[in-house]
């Protein structure tokens, strides 16, 4: 195992920034070694391989997003408003915070090939979990009376997932927060029958 002087969460956070900016394939072990300030032997002892580290990075990224979503839900007066706040936090005011700019799961799915089968499957599974979480929140919104209960939560969740992917890409290309806020309102108006 690695020396106790390494803070595992801090190492994974630094690796997340690195993989986000360079991608999995363009990140070398030397890049990793420099970014996280660990010797190769310690990296292998802690994570087994570059792939092992990347799996932990995907888990860390997914958990950070889940925690941010949960915080939005806790702070909002309704499930639907909490979900909308999560969208705002995910796409507006991003500045230069790379891992929040464009979903790392989407970037990974776009980059990884079938040769990276286990990593690709992991990224896809984590993206499906986001969609399932959206569906659960939308069911709550239906119970709270904010969305017609006859609408299919799974289909609405897919719609939101597509919207979030597109909004993040749009934000990266254009970065106009006022316009992004309007597009988020449009996406949620569709859910409530306002568009």
pTM (two decimals): 0.86
Q: What is the CATH code of the structural domain delimited by 61-192?
A: 1.10.357.10
Can you tell me the distance from the alpha carbon of 56 to that of 20, in angstroms, rounded to the nearest whole number? 13
Domain boundaries, the chain: 61-192
- Indicate the average pLDDT of the chain: 88
Looking at the predicted structure, is the pLDDT value of residue 151 above 90?
yes
On whether the CB atoms of residues 102 and 169 are closer than 8 A, the answer is yes
Can you tell me the distance from the alpha carbon of 165 to that of 167, in angstroms, rounded to the nearest whole number? 6
Inter-CA distances, 165 with 1, 15, 168, 182, Å: 38, 23, 5, 16
CB neighbours (10 Å) of residue 189? Answer: 11
Q: For position 98, what pLDDT does the model report?
A: 45
Cα-based torsion angle of the residue sequence 48, 54, 58, 64 in order, rounded to the nearest 10 degrees: 80
On whether the CB atoms of residues 80 and 144 are closer than 8 A, the answer is yes
Out of 10-14, 58-62, 176-180, 184-188, which region has the weakest mean confidence (pLDDT)? 176-180
Q: What is the pLDDT of residues 39-74, one digit of tens each?
A: 888 889 999 999 999 999 999 999 999 999 999 999
Q: For position 169, what pLDDT does the model report?
A: 84
Percent of the chain with pLDDT over 70: 90
Q: For position 61, what pLDDT does the model report?
A: 92
Q: Give me the DSSP letters along 155-190.
A: HHHHHHHHHHHHHHHHHHHT--HHHHHHHHHHHHHH
Q: For position 173, what pLDDT does the model report?
A: 82
Q: For position 93, what pLDDT does the model report?
A: 65
Q: Give me the DSSP letters along 32-82.
A: HHHHHT--HHHHHHHHSSHHHHHHHHHHHHHHHHHHHHHHHHHHSSSHHHH
Averaged pLDDT, 129-141: 97
Percent of the chain with pLDDT over 90: 67
């Amino acid at each position: 195992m690695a020396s106790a002087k390494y803070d595992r969460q801090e190492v994974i956070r630094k690796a997340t920034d690195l993989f986000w900016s360079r991608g999995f394939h363009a990140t070398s072990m030397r890049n990793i070694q420099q970014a996280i300030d660990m010797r190769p032997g310690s990296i292998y002892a802690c994570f087994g391989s570059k792939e092992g580290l990347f799996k932990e990075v995907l888990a860390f990224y997914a958990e950070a997003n889940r925690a941010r979503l949960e915080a939005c839900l806790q702070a909002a007066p309704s499930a639907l408003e909490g979900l909308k706040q999560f969208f705002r936090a995910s796409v507006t005011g991003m500045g230069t915070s790379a891992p929040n700019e464009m979903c790392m799961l989407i970037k990974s799915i776009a980059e990884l090939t079938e040769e990276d089968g286990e990593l690709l499957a992991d990224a896809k599974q984590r993206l499906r979990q986001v969609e399932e979480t959206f569906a659960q929140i939308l069911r709550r919104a239906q119970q709270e009376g904010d969305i017609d209960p006859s609408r299919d939560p799974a289909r609405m969740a897919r719609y939101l997932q597509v919207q979030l992917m597109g909004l993040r890409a749009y934000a990266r290309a254009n970065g106009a927060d006022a316009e992004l806020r309007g597009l988020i309102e449009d996406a949620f108006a569709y859910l409530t029958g306002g568009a």
